[in-house]
Chains A and B, each alone.
Chain A
């Protein structure tokens, strides 16, 4: 039960909450960090470019006035050195002549050359051996008195490394990643916290519901807070309370009904005893009574006997229900006891027996008699002969099997065979039995206990089709004191 919660499901509430929180946190951080990163990068690069442009303009002012054109290679080199400083170095181009190492071409793209050739200051960021550099280029033009200017043919390119800017930007990126990671951790922690807050009441509710389902009607939840989950807990408590009250009411009513049956049965015993005495006399006289009167007398006698049987059975059943049924234990030779039961009922000739002698058991002989009589009587009435009774003994238990050769028990009937007043054949509302025989036999079997295990009575169908009732009783039944057979 707890394992199920602790382990969580593939995508339980906790996982979903964590996922949503993490996604939210990461998305927000990613957007904010990206925007500020891009913004900061733009500003940093812009500043670097502007500074480089201003610095180049300042330096170029020193080049003028130009006194001689075209320049020699040496003059170009000198000029390049003049224009180079700690942060940048200059490349001077005059037509197809240029400073710098011919083996390592300067990072001047044709596009940049073209833009510079059109007479404007142009710059471009390029990657040189993986290092970002900024190249600013301009023509050197010559002012004229008429306000126009002519190109001197000289072009100056200032190459400046952007490594410091790259470092600053990388630091920004590192910081952004760090922020993202931290926010992810924070989001997961928050999600776990939220999940715990939500899941604890849910888990408690689940456990309480399970306890209630297992029959503990006194289960209640502690209502905390005033949120939806508290509402659920309150509703649960109300439901459990109502259920407890109603079940209590039902139990009380059932107990009342049982007591009523027991009382009625007891009250009926005395008049029935008197009636039985009268019908005994009537029975003797019945043969001498003419026609209808004789039949009526026999009918009254028969029904009185049935009624007496029913009332006795009812009293027996109420004893089981109230838990007052007790065993009167005695050492019994089982084979002899069964034989006696059959002989007493006049069934000895109709039943085949396999009763190994010498099986002695300590049990209630009266109840054994009731069980066997019920089973055999049932088999003779509803099944078909031959009916056989077999006794088998084990170390601690013994088994008595009663089977017939009738059609067997219907699959629909089977689960209800031991129900009270259950009639397998609904068309025959009046049966010879009280309808309580098998129920009483079942209760009697369960009353015998050994090592905490009750005896049993099981109904089934044999391989040849007949019904088979298997009675299993302990060889030594426990002392019944205190061990009631409450159903």
Chain B
């Protein structure tokens, strides 16, 4: 056996030993993904308010809900009206606000078509902030989906006294 062969043998043994030692124990892993996320029931009315400057899903317990003051249609009126009323006391306590102007209410039932929903309100829509528009879009689409009028992600067109706001989908998926 020559020196070179011996050296090579030693090297191989060393590599093997290193591999064995390095492979021992519980190693950190990459992210492993599994089935779909946990889902469950919720009790209360879904509406979208602003939390720390961002659009947020709010569940308002049903026992707190007061009867709507005005009724303009069968569809999506309840939540929409709640939106117009702004956050209640408990919600304000949690830091929730609303950018939808008070008193902005639908003047006609939501119209569902193949390419989306259309809702007509009693005020200006083009001047609404992006978050305020999103609040209306998400709340309307969410409740329309609950009653079988399209899906949650259906684009919603807002029609107001000052014109039409192009269709948008709810950004929360």
A interface list, Cβ under 8 A from B: 11, 16, 30, 34, 38, 41, 45, 49, 53, 57, 60-61, 63-70, 72, 95-96, 109, 111-112, 115-116, 119-127, 132, 138-146, 148-153, 156, 162, 165-166, 169-170, 173
Structural contact, B31 and A122, CB atoms closer than 8 A = yes
Q: Which 8 A-B pairs have the closest CB atoms?
A: A64-B40, A132-B26, A141-B39, A65-B41, A139-B37, A121-B34, A69-B59, A125-B29
Chain B residues 45-81 with CB under 8 Å of chain A are 46, 51-52, 54, 56-59, 61
Residue of A nearest to B49 (CB): A70
- Given A144-B145, A153-B56, A67:B38 Cβ within 8 A: no
Q: Chain B nearest CB: distance from A459 CB in Å?
A: 51
For A165, list chain B residues within 8 Å (CB): 26
Q: Which residue of B30, B57, B96 contacts A153 across the interface (Cβ within 8 Å)?
A: B57
Binds A, one of B104-112, B122-130, B146-154, B156-164: B146-154
Tell me if B28 counts as interface (CB < 8 A to partner A). Answer: yes
Q: Min CB distance, B97 to chain A, in Å? A: 12
Q: Is the CB of B36 within 8 A of A148?
A: no
Give Cα A64 to B142, complex, Å.
Answer: 20
Known contacts A67-B43, A150-B172, A120 near B152 by CB under 8 Å:
no
Docked-complex contact A69 and B58, CB < 8 angstroms: yes
Q: Which residues of A contact B59 (CB under 8 A)?
A: 66-69, 142
Beyond A65-B40, A148-B152, whether A122 also contacts B32 by CB under 8 A is yes
Chain B residues contacting A30 (CB-CB under 8 Å) are: 16, 20
B14 at the interface (CB under 8 A from A): no
Contacts of B172 in A (CB 8 A): 150-151
B contact residues around A72 at 8 Å (CB):
94
Is B41's CB under 8 angstroms from A64's CB? yes
Q: Is B23 interfacial (CB-CB < 8 Å)?
A: yes
Q: How many residues of B contact A (CB 8 A)?
A: 44
Q: Please pick, from B40, B57, B94, the residue contacting A61 in the complex, using a CB distance under 8 A.
A: B40
Q: Are B36 and A70 in contact (CB under 8 A)?
A: no
Q: Are B26 and A70 in contact (CB under 8 A)?
A: no
Knowing A34-B20, A142-B41, the reply to whether A148 touches B151 (Cβ < 8 A) is: yes
Q: List 24 A-B contacts (CB under 8 A).
A: A11-B1, A64-B40, A64-B41, A64-B42, A66-B40, A67-B61, A68-B59, A68-B61, A69-B57, A70-B94, A95-B52, A111-B31, A120-B35, A121-B38, A124-B30, A125-B28, A132-B28, A142-B39, A142-B41, A142-B42, A143-B39, A143-B40, A166-B26, A169-B25
Query: Is B114 part of the contact surface with A, judged by Cβ < 8 Å?
Result: no
Q: Which of A126, A144, A151 contacts B28 (CB 8 A)?
A: A126
Binding site for A on B (CB under 8 A): 1, 16, 20, 23-44, 46, 51-52, 54, 56-59, 61, 94, 96, 142, 145-146, 148, 151-152, 172-173
Report the minimal beta-carbon distance from B148 to chain A, rounded to whole angstroms.
Answer: 7
- Is the Cβ of A124 less than 8 Å from the Cβ of B51? no
Whole-angstrom distance between the Cβ of B6 and the nearest chain A Cβ: 9
Given A70-B58, A122-B32, A153-B56 in contact, is the A144-B146 Cβ separation under 8 Å?
Answer: yes
Q: A30-B16, A60-B38, A145-B146 are in contact. Are A112 and B31 (CB under 8 A)?
A: yes
Whether the Cβ atoms of A149 and B39 lie closer than 8 Å is: yes
Contacts of B24 in A (CB 8 A): 169-170, 173
CA distance A30 to B57 in the complex (A): 57
A111-B43 in contact (CB<8A): no
List of A residues within 8 angstroms of B32 by Cβ:
49, 122-124
Nearest to A162 among chain B residues (CB) is B26
**Contact A115 B33, CB 8 Å, known A60-B38, A146-B146, A165-B26:** yes
Which residues of the other chain, A, contact B27 by a CB distance below 8 angstroms?
Answer: 125, 132
**Residues in A neighbouring B42, C-beta threshold 8 A:** 64-67, 69, 142-143, 152
Select one of B31, B36, B57, B58 contacting A124, CB under 8 A: B31
A138 touches B20 (CB 8 A): no
Provide the residues of chain A in CB contact with B44, threshold 8 Å.
67-68
Find chain A residues with CB under 8 A from B25 CB: 132, 166, 169-170, 173
- Across-interface contacts of B57 in A (CB, < 8 A): 69-70, 142, 150-153
Q: Are A140 and B54 in contact (CB under 8 A)?
A: no
Query: What residues of chain B lie closer than 8 Å to A116, measured between beta carbons?
Result: 37
CB-CB under 8 A from A125, the residues of chain B are 26-29
Q: Is the CB of B36 within 8 A of A121?
A: yes
Q: Given contacts A70-B51, A70-B94, A146-B148, are A140 and B28 in contact (CB under 8 A)? A: no
Complex Cα distance, B16 from A175, in Å, reads 18
In the complex, residue of chain B having the shortest beta-carbon distance to the beta carbon of A149 = B39
B152 to chain A: which residues have CB within 8 Å?
A: 144, 146, 148, 150
A70-B96, A132-B25, A150-B172 known; A95-B40 Cβ under 8 A: no
A65 to B59, CA, bound (A): 11
